[in-house]
Every structure is written in structure tokens, then in C-alpha cells.
Amino acid sequence: MRLIDGAIAIGGDLPLSTTTVEVPSGAGSSHDSGVDRLSSIERVREGMRAALGTSTGPTITIGGDCGVELAAIEHANVRGDVAVVWLDAHPDLNTPASSPSRAFHGMVLRTLLGDGPAQLVPASPLLASRVVLAGTRALDDPESDFIDASEINLLRPNDITPENLVEALLATDAASVYLHIDLDVLDPSEFTSVGYPEPFGLSLAQLLDLIAAARRTLPLAGAGVTEFAPASASATSDELPVILRVIGALTKKL
């Protein structure tokens, strides 16, 4: 419910046209997939696909949790030439077999890479060599093992700079970039309204610099801003200015 409140609050403050995709209120079924509420996740994906339609311009998706990126990144990567910068405290690289929670928001990127529940894997999965984990610092052991065995580039908070993000993006040989921003990539001292805060994250200034560097390097294919979970009305009003600055960095003319 906090995620719903957060998404509605962001949408209400945007000076842009918005389309709302309804999220099922029922618990949904796992269909023995190892993923809680799989049927609801499928319905949200279909709603997202319908909302995105035949749009060819970059779209900003507002979550909710990171599961909203399933259809958004699939849409942006229709030609198979998109790099994804995953700005997130967590890599979201679990599978149903490795997940300690069965929550899909911890499996989203792994599914987009083609290794998830069969019902949710996109027709054209991402290439690991075109994924950059940025600001990521809370990894489960199976996720670390997967990164070590793959071509995913991991830039931890104490290592990342605009310059090495640009270097990582150029190495992907991609035609455009999708920026996934889970707000828990920010340090809790700068942003608190998330479900799973992790210490030693990015400052807002760092995040804005990274967004600008990525946009200067490759055309923006789309972006997602997720996991705003305010606990109260006062928290909403306190934290929204940070989110609006992030969205401003994604939308301003270069």
C-alpha cells in the first residue's frame, strides 16, 4: 500500500501527461512458479504493454516496485540494442530457486536476462554484456556468483564516477540506454522512504551526475523510477522534491 501511495503521489506532482496502469488488489496465484503473486504480475505486465502500445519515444515508468520494469524494458529493447543501467542498492538477480523471499522484485533483472519464470521471460532478453549495475551494494551470494560468471559490469558506490559509467556504457556497443532507478540506490541519509534501505549509498548529487553522464553518452530509450514507499503524508511531502529532481534530470533537454 505504501508503494501505491508513493506512485500516486509522484503522478499527481508531474507536469507531464500520465497513464495509470491498475494493479490487482487480490493476492493472485503463484501457479507453482516459486514467485508470489505471479498471476498479478502477469496482469500488470499486460496492462503495461497496452499502455505503452506502439510508442516509439522514451517513456518514464513510475513504480510501484521494480517489477514494473518488466514490460517497460521489454518495450525499450524491442530492437535488442539497449544498454540498461540498473541504479539500485540490490541487483535483483535472484531466481525462484535462489530467492529467500519469493518476491518478484528481487528477480526482475535476472528475468529480463532470460533466466526467470517461463511466463515472464521476454521474447528478446537483455544481453548481460549490456547491463551495468550502478550503486549496487547489497547482494545475496547466488547473485554475486551469477555476476562473477557473467559479463555484467558492477560499479559499487565507492567506485562509481560519471567517467567510468561512460566507459562502461561505451563498452556495451549499444544504440541507446535505459535508466532503471530504484530510489534505494540513494543513501538513507538523503532519502528514507523505501522499503529496503541500505547504508553507504549514493548522494543525490552523485545520482544526478550519473544520469546526466549516461544521457550525454547514449540516447535515452526510457527510464523507470521505483520503490517510493512513504510511511506518512509528511514523508511524502518531504521526499517528493528529491524524486522531482530525478525526473527533471531524466526529462530536461540536453
Q: What is the pLDDT of residues 9-55, one digit of tens each?
A: 999 998 778 899 988 888 789 888 889 999 999 999 999 999 999 88
Q: Name which of 31, 22, 75 is nearest 53 in CA terms.
A: 75
What cell does 104 get? 518478484
Q: What is the pLDDT of residues 179-190, one digit of tens each?
A: 999 999 999 999
- pLDDT at residue 201 greater than cutoff 90: yes
Q: Name which of 2, 1, 41 is nearest 236 in CA terms.
A: 2
Q: What is the pLDDT of residue 48?
A: 95
Alpha helices in 200-232 (DSSP H): 204-217
**Strand residue runs (E) in the chain:** 59-62, 82-87, 131-134, 153-155, 176-182, 220-226
Which has the higher per-residue pLDDT, 162 or 32? 162
How would CATH label the architecture of 2-251? 3-Layer(aba) Sandwich (3.40)
Q: What is the pLDDT of residue 26?
A: 80
What Cα–Cα distance (Å) separates residue 14 from each residue in 29, 51, 178, 235, 251? 34, 18, 20, 18, 11
- Strand order, beta sheet including 131-134: 59-62, 220-226, 176-182, 82-87, 131-134, 153-155
- pLDDT at residue 234 greater than cutoff 80: yes
Domain borders along the chain are 2-251
Q: What is the pLDDT of residue 177?
A: 98
- pLDDT at residue 77 greater than cutoff 90: yes
- Mean pLDDT, the chain, as a whole number? 95
Q: Name which of 225, 162, 158 is nearest 191 in CA terms.
A: 225
Q: What is the pLDDT of residues 83-108, one digit of tens each?
A: 999 999 999 999 999 999 999 999 99
Q: What is the pLDDT of residue 31?
A: 86
The mean pLDDT value for 147-171 works out to 97
What cell does 99 get? 530467492
Q: What is the pLDDT of residue 121?
A: 96
